[in-house]
Chain A
Amino acid sequence: MNTKQLRLAQLEEKHLTVNVRSHPLRPFREDLNSKGFATSRGLRHKRDGTRVKVAGRLILVHTPPTRSGVRVMFITAEDEWGLIDLVLFPKQQELYARTVLSERICLFEGLVRRVGQGGVSVVIERVLCLEDFLRGLK
């Protein structure tokens, strides 16, 4: 963990409504890299069906009505390189909906789903909150 970056990110979080010098994920990037987490930029080049791990600050969680009545959560997260679109289906919601709705930063594991040309999303299989990830590192 980059403690200097962490301090900076914490101060910005405390005093600013935006982050300027340090994205909240930046202090943990080395650790994330070492554990095989992809960035939003890297995700764009992943093939359909590839298993990936990504991390991001949660921006939007949307549960639009569907024709079948099945509740699907469409999640947008953000890392230092851009946005990550994710989908959480009902089975996984049972386990992770609360985490997604209450945490600020989450780590996700799932399968890449490519849509059209350039559209990428991740179908979530597992969610971890940042604290649990850091605890695991220790």
Chain B
Amino acid sequence: MFFHLHVRSGFSFLFGTFTPKQLVDRVKALGMRGVALTDRAGLYGAVKFQCLAEKARLKPVLGIEAPLSDGTILVLLVRTEDGYRGLCRLISLAHLRHDGLFPLDVILESPRGLICLTGGRDGRIWHLLHSGQRRRAMEFLGELRDAFGEDLFVEVQNHGLRGDVGMVRELMDISKRLGVKAVGTNSVTFLSREDHRIHTALVGIQQVIHHRRICPVPTEEFYLKGEGEMRRVLPEEVLETTEEVVERIEFRLPLYRVHPPGIFEQAREALIKLCIRRLPRVYGRPLKAELLRRLWRELELITSRGFSSYFLVVHEIVEWAKAQGIRCSVRGSAASSVVVHLLLDGPDPIEHDLLFERFLNEARFDPPDIDVDFDSERREEVIRFGLKRFDGQAALVSTIPTFRARSAIREVARTLGMDYGRIKELTECIPYHLLPSRIPQALRELPELRGSPLAEERELLHIASRLDGLPRQLSTHLGGMIVSKALAELVPLEPSPRGYPLSQYDKDDVEVLGLPKFDVLGLRMHTAIAKTLGYIEEQGIELDLDRIPLDDPKTYKLLRSTETVGVFQVESPGQRQLLARVRPERFSDIIAEISLFRPGPMQAEMIDPFVRRKHGKEPICYLHPRLKPILEETYGVLIYQEQVLRVVSELTGSGLDWADVFRRSMTHDRGQEGMEKLKEEFIRRCLEKGLGRELAEEAFRQVSAFAAYGFCKAHAASFAYITYQSAYLKAHYPLEFYLGLLNAGQVGSYPKSVILNEAGRRFPVYPPHVNHSCYNYTMEGRGIRVGLCAVRGIGPKMAQRIVIQRRKGGLFRSVQDFRERVRVADRLFKALWEIGALKDLEGYEHEAA
């Protein structure tokens, strides 16, 4: 039986042409029993590959191509758990310290648990033999043999190129002389011969767009050949050796096994102490027994699972951020925990009736995931602190973007030598999220693409559509951070573009590996709010935004007016229309508003009954009187996931843990059989609880129809606070709020021009002027002075130069004075003059003439 042991997928970025899924499917179709994945310098696709291979009952072999300093490679395959740990450390070392090159001395020092293949035609042995340096080739092979012993194999390949047959003979000869076994491989780069064109296009992208000196493989023969095809080009014995190699592999990645961070000593005691210390400060005295019972229940679960450290890590980072004055808030299901409320603030789960079981419960074994939004402008500080504080145990999570239709067309078109004008024509009106494989369909169906010149570009279309799902590069996830004692041994790392340690596994893989992740997210609205508060303070007004009353009439009036441009979460056209219908009067209406305008509730058509019932145009009814207390706040409509849990628990008499299992089952495609089983179980439990069969069946019908569409109330409640706060600021301090929005980057859906135009209808807006403008927008009297940032071509440095000159030498007196003190290019000077930024300066009219 033959196994491919040297395989480069799409995770050898812009080189391999297939995804792990396509690889597994093809290997299965060829009747092979296993396959290796050996991408360039990384294990990027390893987790996905192992999951897919196991599902297809194939034996997965994990490994990499390790590039050496002389441009050659070695192939390293993981044989044991030790080998995996060593390989993770080796990859991290190569990327973090040696620019992605693997130091040979380190490879030779720590080969335990790794199998080494000599790299085929990209390996040093092949190169030395090819250039007639047989003795050096043998010396190098001897070095490798001394380090790897029986775990070393000479890689023999035949791609039908001139000299390949002779090279096979020579490689087998030296392997015999040194007592090293030879193994046949094919450096698989694509799945079929025809895909050589896709491969050359990908390499072309590297050459043309990234200016890399790299060549495509020289022939079509680097495809995933079947056993018969391999037997035609390589001797039997080297193919048989592949089975021996695979048999030696003992390792499988430990998946779905949670690895608590284990950072702090006596974390359990520390967490309990911290919560108890904070209790009276947050909840006041006397403490209610119900609260204490709830806290204890949460703590018991958290500590028994070993997650105390995780909560302490997040707490430490958030505390640090708060101490620096960085605005932040918890989002997601974590907000339903009293422990989280005590440690990180956020909505009070008791006040808003949030369920801890939606976040963690006895039946859930995945690690907790706490997401915190920080002021976007200062998020970097938080990341820096976290990585420094937990140095060696912390890394950012990666994300692996794949090609979209636009990027695929743009990049392939460039490799085909098309100019930018043509590329613009070809990509016009292509929807942003369209997948490359859907381009032909879009050209047929979307009216705006009818007559598009793209339809005529057959080669471009063929190549671009084949890039679907292929990874483009490793990028940094929006904010995921892993903190774990086991990090170095479980996750290979490399530097992010900003130089931070970045995991080679993406968010989903990190979850499958069972590593708790903490999201340090950036929220522009926090930036806008922080700036608004700064402007308010400058007016001498003290405002504690976290303590404002939640029943402020002016705020609700603003929300009902639908004049909510700039207000968090409720400014989009759809949200504004929904505001007009819901007409919020209390805080819980805002929570509902945020939850209703989501794909799930919209698809389940929850909006109409909610609105009609709220305004008394439709009677409120409940499936069973016992459900009234649960659904009363939403007029009998099942909107929140928390309500689903409660309803299921109430009807079936089960605990909230099982109810959560039921809810999550509804969100996954279980197939007919699975659904029937679930239904039977649900009905059985209802009957036991005394419900009639008819009612139980109707209950299942209703709950199953809505369970998958509900929205997490804890998340909505967290966001509702920010919505309320931003609406409050707009209602009471509109000028400061507009300024905050204008100076916070791209906040929300609308461009700055829309914000400024709205501000301009209420306050005076002054154009940019060299004697009055700073870089940013500023307050001038009770109006807004547009900053120099709004002038095309003026960056922060030029703006700073103008402001510094003004401060040093006083206001610019004349155009001449400005030109002498601030040396600007003619083009920029003309722009400033044309927009009136030099108006009223002496010589302005003369310059005009």
Which residues of chain A from 110 to 130 have a CB within 8 Å of any chain B CB? 115-119, 121
Q: Find chain A residues with CB under 8 A from B753 CB.
A: 17-19
| Contact yes or no, B599 A15, CB < 8 A | no
Q: Find chain A residues with CB under 8 A from B765 CB.
A: 20
Choice from A23, A98, A102, A118 contacting B560 with Cβ under 8 Å: A118
Q: How far is the CB of B750 from chain A (nearest CB, A)?
A: 6
**Is B757 at the interface (CB under 8 A from chain A)?**
yes
**Is B667 at the interface (CB under 8 A from chain A)?**
no
Choice from A63, A93, A119 contacting B576 with Cβ under 8 Å: A119
**Is B761 at the interface (CB under 8 A from chain A)?**
yes
Q: Find chain B residues with CB under 8 A from A4 CB.
A: none
**Is A135 at the interface (CB under 8 A from chain B)?**
no
Choice from B448, B583, B758, B786 contacting A20 with Cβ under 8 Å: B786
| Contact yes or no, A17 B580, CB < 8 A | no
Cα A31 to Cα B575 with chains together (Å): 33
Choice from A18, A97, A119 contacting B790 with Cβ under 8 Å: A18
Choice from B447, B562, B758 contacting A119 with Cβ under 8 Å: B562
**Is B800 at the interface (CB under 8 A from chain A)?**
no
| Contact yes or no, B835 A97, CB < 8 A | no
| Contact yes or no, A59 B751, CB < 8 A | yes
Q: Find chain B residues with CB under 8 A from A5 CB.
A: none
**Is B312 at the interface (CB under 8 A from chain A)?**
no
| Contact yes or no, A85 B573, CB < 8 A | yes
Q: Find chain B residues with CB under 8 A from A81 CB.
A: 761
Cβ contacts A15-58/B at 8 Å (1 or 0 each):
11111110100000000000000000000000000000000000
| Contact yes or no, A115 B834, CB < 8 A | no
Q: Find chain A residues with CB under 8 A from B789 CB.
A: 17
Choice from A15, A62, A64, A116 contacting B791 with Cβ under 8 Å: A15
| Contact yes or no, A15 B835, CB < 8 A | yes
| Contact yes or no, B577 A119, CB < 8 A | yes
Chain B CB count within 10 A is highest, among A16, A20, A97, A98, for A20
**Is B428 at the interface (CB under 8 A from chain A)?**
yes
Cα A121 to Cα B560 with chains together (Å): 16
**Is A138 at the interface (CB under 8 A from chain B)?**
no
Q: Find chain B residues with CB under 8 A from A19 CB.
A: 753, 756-757
Q: How far is the CB of A45 from chain B (nearest CB, A)?
A: 15
**Is A11 at the interface (CB under 8 A from chain B)?**
yes
Which residues of chain A from 80 to 138 have a CB within 8 Å of any chain B CB? 80-83, 85, 93-95, 97-98, 100-102, 115-119, 121
Chain A, interface residues (CB within 8 Å), range: 35 or more
Q: Find chain A residues with CB under 8 A from B756 CB.
A: 18-20
CB contact under 8 A between A94 and B791, given known A20-B765, A76-B573, A85-B577: no
CB contact under 8 A between A116 and B577, given known A17-B792, A78-B754, A101-B429: yes
| Contact yes or no, B750 A59, CB < 8 A | yes
Q: How far is the CB of A114 from chain B (nearest CB, A)?
A: 9
Q: Find chain A residues with CB under 8 A from B805 CB.
A: none
Please name the residue on chain A nearest to B574 by beta carbon.
A74
Chain B CB count within 10 A is highest, among A83, A93, A95, A100, for A83
Q: Find chain B residues with CB under 8 A from A82 CB.
A: 758, 761
Q: How far is the CB of B562 from chain A (nearest CB, A)?
A: 5
Please name the residue on chain B nearest to A119 by beta carbon.
B580
Q: Find chain B residues with CB under 8 A from A21 CB.
A: 767, 836
Cα A49 to Cα B765 with chains together (Å): 37
Choice from B583, B602, B605, B786 contacting A116 with Cβ under 8 Å: B583
| Contact yes or no, B581 A116, CB < 8 A | yes
**Is B749 at the interface (CB under 8 A from chain A)?**
yes
Cα A24 to Cα B657 with chains together (Å): 58
Cβ contacts B8-48/A at 8 Å (1 or 0 each):
00000000000000000000000000000000000000000
Please name the residue on chain B nearest to A98 by beta carbon.
B448
| Contact yes or no, B576 A85, CB < 8 A | yes
**Is B125 at the interface (CB under 8 A from chain A)?**
no
Cα A100 to Cα B765 with chains together (Å): 30
| Contact yes or no, A16 B792, CB < 8 A | yes
| Contact yes or no, A12 B448, CB < 8 A | no
Cα A67 to Cα B598 with chains together (Å): 12
CB contact under 8 A between A16 and B577, given known A21-B767, A93-B447: no
Q: Find chain A residues with CB under 8 A from B831 CB.
A: 14-15
| Contact yes or no, B835 A16, CB < 8 A | yes
Cβ contacts B376-389/A at 8 Å (1 or 0 each):
00000000000000
Cα A15 to Cα B603 with chains together (Å): 44
Q: Find chain A residues with CB under 8 A from B591 CB.
A: none
Q: How far is the CB of B793 from chain A (nearest CB, A)?
A: 8
Q: How far is the CB of B168 from chain A (nearest CB, A)?
A: 55
Please name the residue on chain A nearest to B428 by beta carbon.
A102
Q: Find chain A residues with CB under 8 A from B768 CB.
A: 16, 20
CB contact under 8 A between A98 and B767, given known A59-B754, A118-B561: no
Q: Find chain A residues with CB under 8 A from B752 CB.
A: 17-18
| Contact yes or no, A83 B580, CB < 8 A | no
Q: Find chain B residues with CB under 8 A from A121 CB.
A: 573, 577
CB contact under 8 A between A62 and B573, given known A83-B565, A83-B754, A117-B560: yes
| Contact yes or no, B576 A16, CB < 8 A | no
**Is B623 at the interface (CB under 8 A from chain A)?**
no
**Is B282 at the interface (CB under 8 A from chain A)?**
no
**Is A60 at the interface (CB under 8 A from chain B)?**
yes
Cα A21 to Cα B746 with chains together (Å): 22
Please name the residue on chain B nearest to A71 by beta carbon.
B446
Q: How far is the CB of A2 from chain B (nearest CB, A)?
A: 18
Q: Find chain A residues with CB under 8 A from B792 CB.
A: 14-17
Q: Find chain B residues with CB under 8 A from A116 CB.
A: 577, 579-583, 611
Q: Find chain B residues with CB under 8 A from A23 CB.
A: 757
Q: Find chain A residues with CB under 8 A from B583 CB.
A: 116-117
Q: Find chain B residues with CB under 8 A from A67 CB.
A: 602-603, 605
Q: Find chain B residues with CB under 8 A from A11 CB.
A: 834-835
| Contact yes or no, A18 B786, CB < 8 A | yes
Q: Find chain A residues with CB under 8 A from B429 CB.
A: 97-98, 101-102
Q: How far is the CB of A24 from chain B (nearest CB, A)?
A: 9
Q: How far is the CB of B209 from chain A (nearest CB, A)?
A: 26
| Contact yes or no, B581 A115, CB < 8 A | yes
Q: How far is the CB of B789 from chain A (nearest CB, A)?
A: 8
Cβ contacts B424-461/A at 8 Å (1 or 0 each):
00001101000000000000001110100000000000
Please name the residue on chain B nearest to A65 by beta carbon.
B599
Q: List 7 A-B contacts (CB under 8 A).
A: A17-B790, A63-B431, A82-B761, A83-B565, A85-B576, A102-B428, A116-B611
Sorted nearest first, the 6 A-B pairs with minimum C-beta distance are A119-B580, A116-B580, A116-B581, A97-B448, A98-B448, A15-B831
On A, residues with C-beta under 8 Å from B are 11-12, 14-21, 23, 59-60, 62-65, 67, 74, 76, 78, 80-83, 85, 93-95, 97-98, 100-102, 115-119, 121
On B, residues with C-beta under 8 Å from A are 428-429, 431, 446-448, 450, 560-562, 565, 572-574, 576-577, 579-583, 599, 602-603, 605, 611, 749-754, 756-758, 760-761, 765-768, 786, 789-793, 831, 834-836
Q: Given A20-B765, A98-B429, 10 more contacts at CB 8 Å? A: A16-B790, A18-B756, A18-B786, A20-B760, A85-B573, A95-B447, A100-B448, A102-B428, A116-B583, A117-B580
